[in-house]
């Protein structure tokens, strides 16, 4: 990937969008330090993340939370234990306080009645919400989502969108989402970047609702209007 030049504003919901093979997940992995950039810099506030040592990078990343596609829960742990894990690793709270805080985070995503269930005992949508609760465990100022609606039915996907929106509004958490789901993009996004699958470069940054109508790039208008290249409506 090359030609990426963007800034994400504090408190906004920002989407990384584009077709298959455009580099959406690669960009996300670069932002959270899983892949080093070939060139250029990544800043968190005034800190140049790419120039910091490993210890400082980890300190910066502790102020972020990530919800992976499959939820990435430990199957041998209850939901409460999954959410408590980062608190045990990264804080000096007492066990009582850890469990109370983990229960509170699960309550934020409407899973307060499922604390002692295991991942195999709950639905896909509940797994995603439990993963979100764990991402919130350390009170991050930035939340990253990798295709949060993947594998969910339309109703469950809409409910997850509502949860993301409520958390953004109540916690003022900066939210970065990789997705190609247009309903989620139009419902949630303040701004978005469009990555071109052919060149794997940034094509445009803006509000998706405005880009849908006024983008100077036909590829973006086709994508946001569900049209095949050439203007034919996709089915």
Contact assessment for residue 80 and residue 106, using Cβ atoms and an 8 Å cutoff: yes
Q: Measured between alpha carbons, how far is 44 from 175 in angstroms, rounded to an integer? A: 14
Q: Measured between alpha carbons, how far is 220 from 227 in angstroms, rounded to an integer? A: 10
Q: Measured between alpha carbons, how far is 12 from 173 in angstroms, rounded to an integer? A: 8
For residue 150, pLDDT beyond 90: no
Strands in 91-209 per DSSP E: 142-146, 174-178, 191-196, 201-206
What is the reported pLDDT for 56? 92
The single residue listed with the structure tokens 């939901």 is 79
What is the reported pLDDT for 235? 39
Higher pLDDT, 1 or 124: 124
pTM of the model: 0.89
Q: Measured between alpha carbons, how far is 132 from 52 in angstroms, rounded to an integer? A: 28
Q: What is the pLDDT of residues 110-143, one digit of tens each?
A: 999 999 999 999 998 899 999 999 999 999 999 9
Q: Give the single-character DSSP code of 30.
A: H
Read off the pLDDT of each residue in 9-14 and give the average, rounded to a whole number: 96
Topology of the domain comprising 1-63+141-235:
Rossmann fold (3.40.50)
Q: What is the pLDDT of residues 12-66, one digit of tens each?
A: 999 999 888 888 989 999 999 888 888 889 999 999 998 999 899 989 998 999 9
The first and second tokens of residue 226, run together, are 């569900």
Angle (nearest 5°) at CA 63 between 106 and 39 = 130
CA neighbor of 28 nearest in space, from 77, 65, 78, 80: 65
CA neighbor of 18 nearest in space, from 162, 193, 187: 193
What is the reported pLDDT for 228? 66
Q: What is the pLDDT of residues 168-191, one digit of tens each?
A: 999 899 999 999 899 999 999 999
Q: Give the strands of the sheet with 174-178, arranged side by side.
A: 64-67, 142-146, 174-178, 13-18, 191-196, 201-206
> Helix or strand or coil: residue 151?
coil
For residue 71, pLDDT beyond 90: no
Contact assessment for residue 195 and residue 202, using Cβ atoms and an 8 Å cutoff: yes
What is the reported pLDDT for 230? 56
Q: Measured between alpha carbons, how far is 65 from 71 in angstroms, rounded to an integer? A: 12
Q: At what angle do helices 79-90 and 95-108 cross, to 10 degrees?
A: 130
Higher pLDDT, 150 or 186: 186
The first and second tokens of residue 180, run together, are 């190609």
pLDDT band at 231 (very low <50, low <70, confident <90, very high): low
Q: Measured between alpha carbons, how far is 40 from 36 in angstroms, rounded to an integer? A: 10
CA neighbor of 173 nearest in space, from 105, 124, 224, 119: 105
What is the reported pLDDT for 234? 47
Mean pLDDT of the chain: 90
């Amino acid at each position: 990937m090359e030609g990426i030049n963007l800034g994400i504003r504090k408190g906004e919901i920002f989407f990384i969008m584009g077709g298959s093979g455009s580099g959406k997940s690669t960009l996300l992995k670069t932002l959270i330090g899983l892949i080093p950039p070939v060139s250029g810099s990544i800043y968190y506030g005034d800190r140049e993340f790419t120039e910091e040592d490993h210890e400082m990078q980890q300190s910066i990343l502790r102020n972020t939370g990530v919800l992976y596609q499959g939820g990435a829960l430990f199957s041998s742990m209850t939901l409460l234990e999954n959410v408590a894990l980062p608190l045990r690793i990264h804080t000096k709270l007492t066990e009582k306080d850890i469990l109370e805080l983990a229960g509170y985070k699960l309550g934020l995503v409407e899973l307060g009645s499922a604390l002692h269930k295991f991942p195999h005992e709950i639905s896909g949508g509940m797994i995603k919400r439990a993963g979100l609760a764990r991402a919130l465990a350390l009170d991050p100022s930035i939340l990253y989502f990798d295709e949060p609606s993947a594998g969910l039915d339309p109703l469950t996907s809409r409910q997850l969108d509502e949860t993301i929106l409520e958390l953004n509004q109540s916690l003022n958490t900066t939210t970065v989402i990789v997705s190609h789901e247009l309903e989620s993009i139009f419902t949630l996004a303040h701004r978005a970047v469009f990555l071109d699958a052919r060149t794997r470069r940034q094509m445009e940054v803006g509000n998706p609702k405005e880009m849908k109508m006024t983008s100077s790039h036909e590829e973006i208008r086709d994508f946001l209007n569900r049209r095949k290249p050439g203007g034919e409506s996709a089915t």
